Amino acid sequence: MTVTEDRPAAATGEIGRDRRRKEDQRLITGRTRWTDNIQLTGMLHMAMVRSPFAHAKIVSIDTSAAKAATNVVDVYTGADLGESQGVLINAWPITPDQKTPVHLPMPADRVAFAGEIVAAVVARTAAEARDAAELVDVEYEELPAALDMKEALRDEVLAHPDLGSNKSALWVFDSAEAGTGGNVDDAIAAARTDGVVVEREFRQNRLIPAFMEPRSTVVDPTGEQNVMYSATQVPHILRFALAATTGVPESKIRVVAPDVGGGFGGKLQVTPEEWLTWCIARRLGKPLKYTETRSESLMAAHHGRDQWQKLTMAADKDGTLTGFKIELTADLGAYVAVVGGGVPVLGAFMFNAIYKIPAYHFACQTVLTNKTWVDAYRGAGRPEATFGVERMMDELAHELGMDPMEVRRKNWIRHDEFPYTTVSGLEYDTGNYEAATEEAMASFGYDELRAEQQRRRESGDRVQLGIGISTFTEMCGLAPSRVLGSLDYGAGGWENASIRMLATGSVEVTTGASAHGQGHETAFSQIVADRLGVPFESVEILHGDTQVASKGLDTYGSRSLTVGGEALVKAADKVIEKAKPVAAHLLEANVDDIEFEAGTFSVRGTDQGISIADVAGAVFVAHNLPEGMEPSIDADATYDPVNFSFPHGTHLCAAEVDTETGAIKLRKYTCVDDIGNVINPLIVAGQVHGGLVQGIAQALFEDAVFDDAGTLVSASFVDYLVPTAADMISFDVHHRSTPSLTNTLGTKGVGEAGTIASTPAVVNAIVDAVRHFGVNDIVMPCTPERVWRAINGSGAGGADPTTGDAMPHFDAEGEQA
Amino acid sequence: MIPAQFEYAAPTSLEEALALLAEHGDEAKVIAGGQSLLPVLRMRLNAPEHVIDIGRIEGLRGIREDGDAIVIGATTTHATVLTDPLVAEHAALLTKAVHHLADAQIRHRGTFGGALAHADPAGDMGAPALALGAEFVIAEQGGGTRTVGADDFFVDLFETAIGEDELLTEVRIPKHTGWGAHYEKFVRVAHQWPIVAVAATLKAEGGTITEARVGLTNMGSTPLRARAVEQSLTGQPATEDAVRAACEAAAEGTNPPSDLNGDADYRRHLATVLSRRAVLAAAAG
Ligand SMILES: Cc1cc2nc3c(=O)[nH]c(=O)nc-3n(C[C@H](O)[C@H](O)[C@H](O)COP(=O)(O)OP(=O)(O)OC[C@H]3O[C@@H](n4cnc5c(N)ncnc54)[C@H](O)[C@@H]3O)c2cc1C
């Protein structure tokens, strides 16, 4: 320990630096701990047998040939495992009377979607398990399947006959009842005579999260703690759910999310595959691994979106909004997933978006079908809402003959009106829609592009140009626990962090947020380095292991930074407070005279100081501490947010439509996102770019299509079109920083912004390009064929459902030897 | 995913490969670049007991000039075809088309012969080969070879004139030196097989088209020639109007599929538009 006489030069601020991500080398090269890389002594491997039918009775399962195959250890069916397999939970029953089918990991009697597991084969190698799985002989008796969600509402064919209805729950928010606004039906009636009413029905296509790393689970039951390694976003929730449903005490369960390769919501599930690996490994007393194939992932990991949105917007003739009524039908698929019912309900708070709407009504009917289950996908409820309202604002503008930005400007909350309580009851703390929009329009060249659009239209150019707007906001940082409680969500929304000041000067930080590609290790290191004034390199972020970071609620809903980051700040502040008396003691000064800046405690008005690392060293040896002080300056903090954060932004898209073929070419994409204070601009840019591509992909490319038998047709990446860099343009990305008032760092979430905002911007642009052909909607994904049909007036505005088969490039037909 | 088990053989001579094919009959499958076969095996759509790798047979690889033709060995990779100067000079249509085939990784593994033998009607090599009047050299059991013309090579979906115990050894492409060429491929994402594509190559003198060849991809169970278009183009000026009129007939006699990426009627429409664009681009350079 040394007491320095000279004050060290102030450390350069870490926050706001565009540091390269420290985790990238190991993640990108793959020299890391992906779950499938884990090899344990004596580990066995598992393969699944899955139902090819959407709905069928399991008549019999003959496992004898599989059991007799080389190196097969055992084969299990639902009947073999019975109750020991536990049950999968729905953590968010949206109404008290929600119909929730029992979800067994492996049912014994009936399958409810194509891809559901009916048998599990365990062998010494993964290849032998796969080979033997082919030998399991299942006899099914096909049952009629409920596939189309609108037809399913009629309850003629039941997804789960024992439930008596496909209608799972109806969730309603009404501003007149809640006292947050007027009666929407009155507003609509009034507008029918004196104003304008726009009515549209939009489709939210079904999407597949398509994370890069397929899901994988390894269970090691050989110690006192049973360990589950899983490619999950939610190790803590997973541990809780395992304890709650399998009867194993929580203290005997350790869940590890090693490096996880993407999730986008797709890995916030608690899955049949995890439950079966857990159950069977424990039964065998041996480590067991299950890794899914890409085909299994596409068919059986949860899907996203999938709604019909019936929207009615009322306004005065000058464009002032008077009411907005939202009636959603949301497909849950075969089971109510962990937050499956809640995701569309989040839209209730977002359909009003950035606008002052006097009367508002939101109703969401969730429906069970015999398709893959549906749950959160990047944005979760907010993209759906943003799409609906932003498409409607364009439709309203057209109806009134106004510029679509003018209609928005007329109705949005002005920056001097914050804080603002919306018609759905949220309090927006800050925002500056005017400034973001002004910057976006200038950078985009809005007026020039409008002029070009006009020229092309007048000359009847083969290539027409359209401009699409999306002025969005979102609620980030899930979530204040009290709010979640009021929505009957099964958990809280706090986050935990702890900081351990090691003797040799490094700082070990644990966080309950569970990174799966976002760059937490870098951004969180910057926050701690900044707060404690220690070098960035000295900070180590530990996460994703319930024995290391024992408390946490994981990563989703753009919460890691705004909630988890705030917990870090609070823990760091506690460390500083604990260290202060030690510093005072060592500097022989009064605590009240100690100041802390840039990593150094100093005595006010003197040049005496001591670094926090040196204080940590002194505490480690504990030779000379203040009387009665516990020899530790480590601290932890659990932070429960008081409110959401509300990032917002203006996204502008210009798209060219080849009217001969319907082909779409993005011409320019500008976004100005106000995401509060930025910790690392490089990570923010990455999040925005990736988010934009995913949102654009919903508009143009991605679609989970089922055939009439309920089989997923887009079941490989040949047919489920995930775009690459080759399909995109360079984005014109800007950000503004109006600090959030709800957390110390002034940050807002950015993980989902691009996805939420971009989809309507793109579709608005396409519709704008071809509106003069009488088109007012094109169903997503806006394929060239749909655009072409819309232009040519066939297929109801391009609303034809996608039908037909997958492309047969790898058909066995050509390969019969 | 993991393929079912198979025996792997990597013969170094054509004779050896043919002998293995004779020995194992329909339990054997030839692998070249594996870019079509491996997905089939991994998805367990097929499970041959023997896989015979022809990648180590020296004589099957490479591109050479032979009189009025260039000769492309069956296991020559797409990447080699793409950058080969002989191909660029005498069969520019191939260079243009292979540029759009899949992505760089696949082009470095996949082979010219494998693509043609696989005979996916959505494959990008069939229509150009057909348009250029390629001849396919097939090695038979007993040491003989036979040459099959392009019109007889493609039999049906995934079916060619190559017999089960035979191998495609090389493809002879008559020189089309100085012909303009263009491959117009219509896709939704860049790494996709064409929804429809048109391969056009033509000779023009003083602004008049003297000869034209137009091949269609994914407009039926095999690659097709748009013969009506070819005939109408001959003797026409290479103008937008003339070409447009000629290309109206592009979908004549075709039988395109309906799938996720488009219904048959949309594909017929695309064929006319893309033919016009391909021909005009070919005429321009
Ligand atoms: C993701 C992806 C995208 C693709 N995109 C495209 C695309 O856009 N356009 C396109 O045209 N293609 C595309 N392909 C396919 C690619 O062109 C393959 O290279 C080609 O289809 C097969 O060539 P190969 O050498 O890999 O053949 P292999 O896969 O090894 O063999 C294919 C078939 O041909 C047989 N065969 C191979 N060589 C011979 C021979 N000499 N004699 C007799 N039989 C033989 C094999 O037995 C097998 O049945 C794509 C492939 C993938 C995986």
Q: Are A799 and A777 in contact (CB under 8 A)?
A: yes
Percentage of the residues of chain A whose pLDDT score is greater than 70:
96
CA-nearest residue to A703 within chain B is B260
Residues from chain A contacting residue B29 (CB–CB below 8 Å)? 815, 817
Using the atom order of ligand 1, give the atom closest to the CA of residue B29.
47
Q: Kindly state if the Cβ of B162 falls inside 6 Å of ligand 1.
A: yes
The Cα–Cα gap between B168 and B139 comes to 6
B4, B28, B37 ranked by CB distance to A131: nearest:
B4
Strand order in the sheet with A44-50: A72-77, A117-123, A44-50, A288-291, A216-220, A226-230, A253-256
Which residue, by CA, sits nearest to atom 4 of ligand 1? B102
CA of residue A300 to ligand 1 center, whole Å: 29
Q: How far apart are CA B283 and CA A299, in angstroms?
A: 47
Please state the rounded mean pLDDT for residues A679-690: 95
Residue B94 near residue B101 (C-beta atoms within 8 A)? no
Which residue's entry shows tokens 């110390």?
A: A744
Mean pLDDT across A440-444: 98
Question: In angstroms, what separates the C-alpha of A137 from chain B's closest C-alpha?
Answer: 17
By Cβ distance, the residue of A134, A726, A815 closest to B45 is A815
Q: CB neighbours (10 Å) of residue B241? A: 9
**CB–CB of B141/B22 below 8 Å?**
yes
Q: Is B36 on the interface with A (CB under 8 A)?
A: yes
Query: A407 by DSSP, 3-state: which?
Result: helix
Neighbours of B235 (CB within 10 A): 12
Residue B203: strand pairing partners: B211
Contacting A residues, span 732-791, partner chain B, CB-CB under 8 Å: 783-785, 788-789
pLDDT above 90: percentage of residues in chain B: 95
Residue nearest to atom 37 of ligand 1 (CA): B114
Q: Is B37 in the pocket of ligand 1 (CB under 6 A)?
A: yes
Average pLDDT of the segment spanning A430-454: 97
- Cβ pair A785:B191 closer than 8 A: no
DSSP one-letter code for A414 = P
Q: Closest Cα to residue A734, out of A438, A440, A435?
A: A440
Residue A183: both structure tokens together: 């009666």
Q: How many domains does chain A divide into? A: 3
- Residue A817 pLDDT greater than 70, yes or no: no
Please give the backbone phi and psi of residue A18, each rounded to the nearest 5 degrees, phi first.
-90, 65
Per the DSSP assignment, residues forming a β-bridge with B237 are: B208
Q: Which uninterrupted H or E stretch holds A272?
A: helix A272-284
Nearest-5° Cα angle at A440, A644 to A682: 65
In this structure, the answer to whether residues A671 and A751 fall within a common structural domain is yes
Same domain, A635 and A647: no
Place A807 in a pLDDT band, splitting at 50, 70 and 90: low
Give tens-digit pLDDT for A153-176.
999 999 999 999 999 999 999 999
Choose, out of A121, A788, A809, the residue to mutate when testing the contact with B (most B CBs < 10 Å).
A809
**Residue A814 predicted with pLDDT over 80:** no
Helix axes A520-532, A566-587, angle to 10 degrees: 30
DSSP states of A536-553 as a string?
A: GGGEEEE-SBTTTS-S--
Contact residues, chain A, for B266 at CB < 8 Å:
785, 788-789
pLDDT at A813 over 70: no
A337/A282 same-domain check: no
The CATH topology of domain B180-284 is Enolase-like; domain 1 (3.30.390)
Q: Which residues pair with A501 in a beta bridge?
A: A507
A236: three-class secondary structure by DSSP: helix
B113 C-beta closer than 6 A to ligand 1: yes
A residues 436-495 closer than 8 Å to B (CB): none
Does residue A52 contact residue A114 with C-beta atoms inside 8 Å?
yes
Q: Which residues of B touch A294 (CB under 8 A)?
A: 1
- A778 within a domain of the structure (yes/no): yes
A593 and A688 within one domain: no
The residue ranges of every structural domain in chain B are: 7-52, 60-174, 180-284
Cβ pairs bridging A and B (under 8 Å): 114
Question: If DSSP states are collapsed to H, E and C, what string results for A36-67?
Answer: HHCCCCCCEEEEEEECCCCCEEEEEEECHHHH
What pLDDT score was predicted for residue A477?
Answer: 85
Q: Which two tokens stand for residue A626?
A: 């203040």
The minimal CB distance from B191 to the residues A724, A804, A817 is found for A724
Can you tell me which residue has the tokens 């993209």? A383
Chain B contact present for A724, CB below 8 A: yes
The predicted structure's pLDDT at residue A797: 46
Angle of helix A404-411 versus helix A382-400 axis, rounded to 10: 110
In a domain, A540, yes or no: yes
Q: Is the pLDDT of residue A485 over 80?
A: yes
Provide the token pair at A458: 């007048």
Chain segment B63-117, per-residue pLDDT in tens: 999 999 999 999 999 999 999 999 999 999 999 999 999 999 999 999 999 999 9
- Check whether domain B7-52 has CATH 3.30.43.10, yes or no: yes
Question: Is residue A420 within 8 Å of A428, Cβ to Cβ?
Answer: yes
CA distance A701 to chain B (A): 7
Helices (H), A327-445: 342-346, 382-400, 404-411, 433-444
B14 C-alpha to center of ligand 1: Å?
Answer: 20
Domain finish residue from A300, A324, A349: A300
Give the SS3 label for residue A263. Answer: coil
pLDDT digits (tens, 9 = 90+) for A180-194: 999 999 999 999 999
Beta-strand ranges (E) seen in A571-647 are 594-597, 600-603, 609-611, 635-639
Q: Would the pLDDT of A502 be above 80?
A: yes
Residue A3: per-residue pLDDT: 41
The secondary structure of chain B as a DSSP string is --PPP-EEE--SSHHHHHHHHHHHGGGEEEESS-TTHHHHHHTTS---SEEEE-TT-GGG--EEEETTEEEEETT-BHHHHHH-HHHHHH-HHHHHHHTTSS-HHHHHH-BHHHHHHHT-TT-TTHHHHHHTT-EEEEEPTTS-EEEEEHHHHEEETTEES--TT-EEEEEEEE--TT-EEEEEEE-SSTTSPPSEEEEEEEEEETTEEEEEEEEEESSSSS-EE-HHHHHHHTT-BS-HHHHHHHHTTTTTT-----BTTB-HHHHHHHHHHHHHHHHHHHHH-
Tell me which residue of A714, A110, A699, A748 sits closest to A391, measured CA to CA: A699
A728 has a chain B CB within 8 A of its CB: no
Largest Cα–Cα separation, chain B: 61
pTM here is 0.95
> Looking at residues A558-582, what average pLDDT do you find?
95
pLDDT of residue A31: 87
Q: What is the mean pLDDT of residues A763-786?
A: 97
**For the segment A264-317, what is each residue's pLDDT rounded down to a tens digit?**
999 999 999 999 999 999 999 999 999 999 999 999 999 999 999 999 999 999
**Residue A667 and residue A658 in contact, taking contact as beta carbons nearer than 8 Å:** no
Strand, helix or coil at A484?
helix
From CA A685, how far away is CA A20, in angstroms rounded? 12
Look over chain B and give the mean of its residue pLDDT values, rounded to a whole number: 96
Q: What is the CATH number of the domain that holds A722?
A: 3.30.365.10
For residues A624 and A746, the answer to whether their CB atoms sit within 8 Å is no
**Both A533 and A654 in a single domain?**
no
The enclosing domain of A53 has a CATH number of: 3.90.1170.50
CATH T-level topology, domain B60-174: 3.30.465
Q: How far apart are the first and last CA of chain B?
A: 45
Contacts with A663 from chain B: Cβ below 8 Å: 186
When pLDDT is averaged across residues A382-409 and rounded to a whole number, the result is 97
- Please indicate, yes or no, whether residues A105 and A56 belong to a single structural domain of this protein: yes
What average pLDDT does this structure show over A710-724? 95
Rg over CA atoms, chain B: 19
**What pLDDT is attached to residue A12?**
58
d(CA A362, CA A244): 33
Q: Cα–chain-centroid distance for residue A424?
A: 22
**B155 → chain A, closest CA residue:** A814
Q: Are strands A507-511 and A539-542 parallel, antiparallel or unpaired?
A: parallel
Do residues A687 and A713 both lie within one domain?
yes
Question: In this predicted structure, what is the pLDDT of residue B269?
Answer: 98
- Quick one: which of A491, A481, A426 has its CA closest to A642? A481
Could you tell me if residue A10 is inside a domain?
A: no
Structure confidence at residue A751 (pLDDT): 86
Q: How far is the CA of A417 from the centre of ligand 1 (A)?
A: 63
Q: What are phi and psi of A170, to 5 degrees?
A: -120, 120
A105 falls within a domain: yes
Domain termination site, one of A613, A639, A665: A639
The secondary structure element, H or E, covering residue A464 is strand A463-473
Closest CA of chain A from B68, distance in Å: 33
Q: Do A785 and B262 touch (CB under 8 A)?
A: yes
Based on its alpha-carbon atoms, the radius of gyration of chain A, rounded to whole angstroms, reads 28
Report CB contact under 8 Å: A814, B29: no
Please tell me whether residues A680 and A572 are part of one structural domain: no
Whether residue A700 contacts residue A694, with contact meaning beta carbons closer than 8 Å, is answered with: no
Judge whether A338 lies within some domain.
yes
The residue type found at A31 is R
Reported ipTM: the value is: 0.96
CB of B94 sitting under 6 A from ligand 1: no
CA-nearest of A554, A420, A558, A553 to A476 is: A558
Position A802 confidence tier, pLDDT thresholds 50, 70, 90: low
What is the average per-residue pLDDT within A305-331?
Answer: 98
Judge contact between A694 and A755, C-beta under 8 A.
yes
Largest CA distance in chain A: 88
Residues A308, A194 share a domain: yes
Residue of B nearest to A804 (CA): B259
Residues B161-202 pLDDT 10s: 999 999 999 999 999 999 999 999 999 999 899 999 999 999
Question: Is the CB of residue A778 less than 8 Å from the CB of residue A397?
Answer: no
A598 and A709 both lie in a single domain? no
- Show residues of chain B in contact with A127, CB under 8 Å: 2, 5
Q: Which domain holds residue A548?
A: 494-639
Q: What pLDDT was estimated at residue A742? A: 85
Q: How confident is the model at residue A811 (pLDDT cuts 50, 70, 90)?
A: low
Are residues B36 and A809, on separate chains, in Cβ contact within 8 Å? yes
B positions 189-228 inside 8 Å of A (CB): 189-193, 195
